[in-house]
Amino acid sequence: MKIILFLSNLFILTLTFGQDSIFSWKENFRIVENTISGWNVDAFGNLIVSNSSSLNKYNSDGEISYRISSKSFGEIKQIIPITPLKIVLFSEQQQQICFVDNTLTPVNECIDLGDYNIEFATFIGRSSRGELLWVFDQVNSTLLLIDLNQSGKIVQEIRNTKGLISLNELVEIIEFQSDLLLFDSTGQLLKFDLNGSLLSQVKLDCNDISASENSIWLLNKNQLFIYSDFDNPRYVCELPITKIECFRTNSNRFFFQQNNEIQCYNLVKKK
């Protein structure tokens, strides 16, 4: 039944492409880096970006507020704000997780993922349950929920993800309400409950996915769609730019990456 529902939603998504939109975009700012290895947006709408030599934090007006050297962290692949005062930095190269505070000051010691018997981590995702973190071990095709406060403690495992559900390269891990969502590079969306049971699986024709507090957002070619509880996907509007590699959202603000540039827009109702 769940899979049928998802397929029905996909059908609706196709039908709604031509609808008129009541929304438009207002550009706030854009930033350009020499390279971008990882980036994210915190709960206050601050943009945190890693390039080849530094970790930079921009405020909600696009002005640089903090900058530190990132060389000691290795190449930062992902940046995950887990609390307003704690940000996780993941280096696939170093196979470690490091921490900085809201001023980008390093805090605590870095964690070696080998301490959790993880052979090769390729992706991480934030958990809403305290100081826990999802980590995907590519070698063992296992998704683990680890405790950041207790070295080596694994809270939960979802094993053999590649064999059981044909999971490809992960693009996003999202805890949404009472579900765990995995989105891969082929557009496949997998929905688990928080105990690790697979609830549904569907292939979506979309480029990227992001979550806000109550909704899931999808980029489909040059258009933006919204899902609420996976029912009734709605066309929102045309995107303000093309060739978007990935995006993030915070309230009514959307951040879009094109190569080494990130642009911030407000989604506003037309007058």
Amino acid present at 217? W
Residue 127 — very low, low, confident or very high, per pLDDT cuts 50/70/90?
very high
For 164, which DSSP code?
H
Q: How many CA atoms lie within 13 A of 177 on its CB side?
A: 8
Average pLDDT over residues 85-98: 96
Instruction: Over range 1-30, report the average pLDDT.
Output: 58
Identify the bridge partners of residue 104 per DSSP, sorted by sequence position. none
Q: What is the pLDDT of residue 14?
A: 40
Asked whether the beta carbons of 172 and 134 are under 8 A apart, the reply is no
Q: Is the pLDDT of residue 55 over 60?
A: yes
Tell me the C-alpha to C-alpha distance, in Å, between residue 260 and each of 7, 42, 43. Answer: 35, 20, 23
Q: Which two tokens stand for residue 143?
A: 């998704």
Q: Where are the domains of the chain?
A: 2-269
Write down the pLDDT at residue 4. 33
The percent of residues above 90 in pLDDT, for the chain, comes to: 65
Reported as a single tens digit per residue, the pLDDT across 166-188 is 677 889 999 988 899 999 988 88
> Mean pLDDT throughout 31-50?
96
Instruction: Give the containing element (helix H, strand E) for 8.
Output: helix 2-15
Residue of 243, 235, 242 lying closest to 18 (CA atoms): 235
Q: Is 43 helix (H, G, I), strand (E, B) or coil?
A: coil
Mean pLDDT of 94-119: 96
pLDDT band at 2 (very low <50, low <70, confident <90, very high): very low
Q: CATH number for the 2-269 domain, one of 3.30.420.40, 3.40.50.970, 2.40.160.60, 2.120.10.30?
A: 2.120.10.30
8 A C-beta contact, residue 220 and residue 207: yes
Smallest CA-to-CA distance from 46 within 67, 25, 69 is with: 67
For 193-244, how does the pLDDT look when each residue is reduced to its tens digit (9 = 90+)?
988 888 888 888 788 999 887 789 999 889 999 976 555 668 899 999 999 9
CA distance 50 to 66: 12
Confidence of residue 41 (pLDDT cuts 50, 70, 90): very high
